[in-house]
Amino acid sequence: MQFGTSHGGLHDDGEHAHEETEANGFLFPQQLGRLTGLVKGYAHVLPMALGYTVCSSMLMVSNKLALSAFPFPSLLMALQFLASATVVRLLTVFGKLDAAPLTWEKARSFWMVPLVFEVAIFANIKLLQAASIETTIVFRTLVPLITSWADYAFMERELPSRRSCLGLLTIVVSAMVYARSSTGGIRVDTWLWAILYLLVLAFEMVYVKHVLNRLPMSTWTRVYYNNALALCFWPPFLLCGSEYAHLGEAAQLLLRL
C-alpha cells in the first residue's frame, strides 16, 4: 500500500510536471509572438529613435569637445548652422536631396521653430560650459516629464499611464545615480542656463509637433529652413558674453584649428 501510494504520488507529480512543461511550452511561443508583434509594430519608429539617440548623444559630446578648443558659443553655433544649411543646399542643387528653397510665405509661418531651436542649442552650449556632461544628461532626462504634461495641457493628448510615469521617473533616477557616481558628478556653476535649457527644449518639442501638423514640409526642407533661418537670427546672440568684442581672436583661433 505504501509503495502504491508512492507510485501514485510519482505518477501525479509526473503528470503535473508534464502539464507544466506543456503550459510553459505554450506560453513561451505566445510571449515570443507578442514581442515579435510589438517589434514589428514599431519597426518604422525604432531606427528613427535610435538615430535620434545617437545623434543627440554625439552632439552633446562633440559640442563639449568643440568648446574646449573654440570657447565662443554663439560663433560655434553659427558655424554649425552655416555648415548644415550649405551642405543641404549643395546636395539639393546636385540632385541628391529634395529641399525646397526659402520662400517668404513658408518662412513667415515657420520662423518661430528655428528661433526656439537656436535658443535651445545656445542654452545647451552655455550649460555645457557651466556644467558637466553628466549634469546636462540629468536635465535632458527631465524634459519628457514636462513634454508629457504639455502634450496633455496643450495638444489634447492623454496623460501618461502609471507605468509610463514610473518608467520616466526610473530614467531620471538612473541618470542621477550615474551622474553622482561618475567623475564629473552633478555640477552646475549657474542655474540660469540649466533652467532655460530645460524649459526651452520642452517647449520646442511640443511647439514643433504643433507646427509640423499645421505646416507640412519634407524632412530636408525642414532641416534647410531650420538652419538657414537660425543663421539669420544669430547676430543678437553675439551680445551674450560680449563675443562681438572677441571676433578677431575667434577668427585667428579658427584659422589655427
Rg (CA), the chain: 26
Tell me which residues of the chain have a pLDDT lower than 50: 1-27
Cα(17)–Cα(12) distance, integer angstroms: 9
**Grid coordinates representing 4?**
502504491
pLDDT of residue 241: 67
pLDDT of residue 232: 92
Structure confidence by residue, pLDDT tens digits, 116-175: 989 988 888 888 888 888 888 888 899 988 888 888 888 778 888 888 899 999 999 999
Task: Name the residue ranges covered by the structural domains of the chain.
Answer: 72-131+188-256
Alpha carbons within 13 angstroms on the beta-carbon side of residue 104 total 0
With the C-alpha atoms ordered 12, 13, 19, 22, is the resulting torsion angle positive or negative?
A: negative
Residue 189 DSSP code:
S
pLDDT of residue 193: 86
pLDDT of residue 221: 93
First-to-last alpha carbon distance for the chain, in angstroms, is 93
pLDDT of residue 95: 92
Q: Of the candidates 128, 122, 93, 79, which has an alpha carbon nearest to the alpha carbon of residue 227?
A: 79
**Grid coordinates representing 17?**
510536471
